[in-house]
Structure 1
Amino acid sequence: MASEGEGDKNKLKLYSYWRSSCSFRVRIALNLKGLTYDYEAVNLLKGENSRPEFLELNPLGFVPVLVDGHVVLADSFAIIMYLDDKYPRQPLLPPDIHKRAINFLAATIVSSMIQPLQNLGLLNYIGEKVGPDEKLPWAQSVIRRGFTALEKLLIDHTGRYATGDEVFLADIFLAPQLYSAFKRFNIHTNEFPILSRLFETYNEIPAFREALPENQRDAVH
């Protein structure tokens, strides 16, 4: 582990749920930065995110939440940018402004145009109002639309990773979404060759593997 910010590292606490892709992103960022943290499991299926003590941290009732001393942040994008500013080692954005913009765009496609439309709350709502058999087709349609856009966006920018030969913000957002799509929502890897190759590459990175849902202490196997 990195020694940077040793005093501050002891204050970091991450409220997380093992299957939450938003929490997965933050776990990757923490690992890439070499930061230790206390893992506080919040079971979404049991409604622990609706308990008053958790709503004090995040009134929206979502994970992840990062607590760093007196700082409380409740959004994966905000948390990751905060970590990148506070712990500049292993920067999560490239210096080139065009590549930075591509990273922001890829991350936004995932965080705004895919994940919110296939999250647990919305799928449960669709199951109740439309029918349980409609949950998977809906999620797949959302993912395919977003992945099609990502394939077109990244075709001229990929190297070993999404925007070159270093891991940056786009990779942190892509990895959990790809995992969810391929492992949970039955999207076939051969539909998206660029994203499929990236997915295999991410599995080779220790910081990514350690953040995998099944490697969290609250994981249900």
Structure 2
Amino acid sequence: MSEYVLYNAPQSTCSQRVRYTLHTKGLPFEEHKLDLFRGDQLKPEYLAVNPNGLVPALVHDGASVLDSSVIMEYLEDIRPDVAPLRPSDPLKVAAMRAMMRYIDEVPTPAVRVPSYNLAFLPHYQAMTEEEFLAVCESKPLRREFLLKMGRTGFPKTEMDEALGRLQRGVDRFARWLEESGGPFVLGHALSLADIAIMPVIVRMDDINLGHMWASASAVGRWLDLIRNTDAFQQTYYHGSLLTEKYPHLQTLKTTAA
């Protein structure tokens, strides 16, 4: 078995963060791709790794490390000598961690709402009510989220609220870039905060929400820089974008353009 074993899902934004961090640091890992709609994350063998039934989970030398933000910090803790992703100044570290908390609390959960309504809802609509409730009960950290969505999708009020949170997240991100002088949120060097927000911005662009940073050119430049990294190409292999998995989203994007 490899020293690092990553259990994740291609389209999972939290999984994408961890894949990018591993690739940036050049750490080879064994990847297990879980099919979340087949319930791979709820099978006993995976629950033994992560009792929360969520992805990603990293197993390092036989020990589980859970939660994408925790995994990213853990990788920096054990390999700070390779492609450092955390500044040396404690004040800048504190600022970086505050950014990561904001990202985890505002834009990251918000992007799930349009993602589920546009891409994932048909999976749940195909279930019976009993099957859907069983799935909700089996996911302790997503139970309320799924129950709010139901089998008819999030209502317009929920979508509008999520889009508002995404806009605030993008505006805050643009301000970080402006204040740091760019091209990254802490200045010249890529950090864990950039990687934390990366899947949100990539997802928004993928589902035709890129117009939200039309007035913030720094965000577009940042995205171009990220996409041109080797780690991005390795992280976003085919099937990682929703438009690659769900062709109707590509049609909607083309129509809107």
1:51 to 43, 50, 56: 43
Tell me which residue corresponds to 1:71: 63
Alignment partners' CA distance in 2, 1:79 and 1:208: 18
Alignment partners' CA distance in 2, 1:104 and 1:85: 14
Alignment partners' CA distance in 1, 2:147 and 2:8: 22
Tell me which residue corresponds to 2:182: 159
1:34 CA drift (Å): 0.6
Gaps of 5+ in 1: 1-8
Alignment partners' CA distance in 1, 2:172 and 2:182: 18
User: Is the 8 Å Cα contact of residues 6 and 57 (structure 2) preserved in structure 1?
Assistant: yes
2:202 to 179, 199, 202: 179
After TM superposition, the score normalised by the length of structure 1 is 0.84
Structure 1 stretch 140-149 or stretch 183-192: which is displaced more? 183-192
1:185 CA drift (Å): 5.5
Tell me which residue corresponds to 2:222: 198
Read off the aligned partner of 1:205 and give its amino acid letter.
Answer: T
Tell me which residue corresponds to 2:166: 143
Alignment partners' CA distance in 1, 2:69 and 2:154: 31
1:149 CA drift (Å): 2.2
User: Is the 8 Å Cα contact of residues 26 and 79 (structure 1) preserved in structure 2?
Assistant: yes
Tell me which residue corresponds to 2:97: 104
Tell me which residue corresponds to 2:150: 128
Read off the aligned partner of 1:21 and give its amino acid letter.
Answer: T
More helix by share: 2
Q: Which runs of 4+ in 1 moved over 6 A?
A: none
CA RMSD of aligned residues (A): 2.5
Alignment partners' CA distance in 2, 1:185 and 1:220: 15
1:212 CA drift (Å): 1.4
User: Is the 8 Å Cα contact of residues 57 and 65 (structure 1) preserved in structure 2?
Assistant: yes
Read off the aligned partner of 2:26 and give its amino acid letter.
Answer: G
Aligned length: 211
Read off the aligned partner of 1:145 and give its amino acid letter.
Answer: R
Check 1:85–1:63 CA distance in 2 against 1; reply closer, same or farther (3 A cut): same
Check 1:33–1:99 CA distance in 2 against 1; reply closer, same or farther (3 A cut): same
Check 1:179–1:123 CA distance in 2 against 1; reply closer, same or farther (3 A cut): farther
Check 1:117–1:97 CA distance in 2 against 1; reply closer, same or farther (3 A cut): same
Check 1:133–1:58 CA distance in 2 against 1; reply closer, same or farther (3 A cut): same
Deviation string 1:164-189 (CA, Å, 9 cap, x unpaired) is 11111111112111101111262414
Read off the aligned partner of 2:2 and give its amino acid letter.
Answer: N
After TM superposition, the score normalised by the length of structure 2 is 0.73
Deviation string 1:148-204 (CA, Å, 9 cap, x unpaired) is 222233321142222111111111112111101111262414144332221111111
Tell me which residue corresponds to 1:25: 17
Read off the aligned partner of 1:98 and give its amino acid letter.
Answer: L
